[in-house]
Homo-oligomer: A and B are copies of this chain.
Amino acid sequence: MKSQINIGLVGLGTVGTGTAKILLENRDVIARRVGVPLELKRIVDLDVTTDRGLTLPSGVLSSDLPGLLNDPSIDIIIELIGGYDTAKRVMLDAMAQGKHIVTANKALLAVHGEDVFAAAARAGVDVGFEASVGGGIPIIRSLTEGLAANRCVSIVGIMNGTANYILTQMLKENQEFEESLAQAQAAGYAEADPTFDIQGIDSLHKLAIMVSLAYGTPVNVKDVFTEGIQKVTSLDIQYASEFGMVVKLLGIARLHEGAVEARVHPTLIDNHSPLAQVNGVYNAIHVVGDAVGDVMLYGQGAGALPTGSAVVSDVIDIARNIQRQASGRVPPTSFPLDQRTPIRIRPMEELTTRYYLRCMVLDQPGVLSKIAGVLGHHGISIMSVIQQGRQKGQTVPLIIMTHRASERSVQTALQEINQMSSVVSQPTTLIRVEDDGR
Contact = CB atoms under 8 A, between A and B. Distances in A.
* Interface size class, chain A: 35 or more
A147 B291 contact: no
A149 B326 CA distance: 20
Given A26-B150, A149-B316, A329-B324, A296 B299 contact: yes
A339 B299 contact: no
Interface in A133-154: 135-138, 141-142, 145-151
Query: How many copies of this chain are found per oligomer?
Result: 2
A335 B141 contact: no
A436 to B, nearest CB: 15
A175 interface: no
Contact of A297 (B296, B329, B330, B336): B296
Interface stretch (A114-122, A204-212, A303-311, A415-423): A303-311
A293 B302 CA distance: 11
B317 A145 contact: yes
A164 interface: no
Nearest to A316: B148
Given A296-B297, A296-B298, A339-B33, A326 B321 contact: yes
A125 to B, nearest CB: 14
A136 B329 contact: no
Nearest to A18: B291
Nearest to A142: B138
A151 B32 CA distance: 11
A295 B216 contact: no
Interface in A275-311: 277, 289-300, 303, 305-306, 308-311
Contact of A145 (B135, B141, B147, B324): B141
A334 B32 CA distance: 10
A309 B142 CA distance: 12
Contacts of A299: 292-296
Contact of A313 (B136, B147, B339): B147
Interface in A213-227: 216
A291 B19 CA distance: 9
A23 to B, nearest CB: 8
A293 B136 contact: yes
Contact of A141 (B35, B146, B298): B146
A274 interface: yes
A434 to B, nearest CB: 18
B309 A303 contact: no
A298 B274 CA distance: 9
A46 interface: no
A308 B329 contact: no
Contacts of A26: 149-151, 290-291
Interface in A358-389: none
A320 interface: yes
Contact of A298 (B135, B295, B310, B317): B295
A23 B399 CA distance: 49
A218 to B, nearest CB: 15
A130 interface: yes
A198 to B, nearest CB: 24
A74 interface: no
Contacts of A313: 145-149
A29 interface: yes
Contacts of A292: 135-136, 299-300, 305-306, 309-310
Contact of A329 (B277, B315, B326): B326
28 contacts: A22-B150, A30-B149, A35-B339, A135-B292, A137-B295, A138-B142, A138-B146, A138-B147, A141-B145, A149-B312, A149-B315, A149-B316, A290-B305, A291-B306, A291-B308, A291-B312, A293-B299, A294-B299, A294-B300, A296-B297, A297-B297, A298-B298, A321-B326, A323-B329, A324-B324, A324-B326, A324-B328, A329-B329
8 tightest Cβ-Cβ pairs between the two chains A and B:
A138-B146, A149-B312, A326-B326, A136-B292, A295-B299, A292-B309, A291-B309, A324-B326
Given A18-B291, A138-B146, 8 more contacts: A26-B149, A32-B336, A138-B147, A142-B142, A146-B310, A148-B316, A292-B309, A320-B330
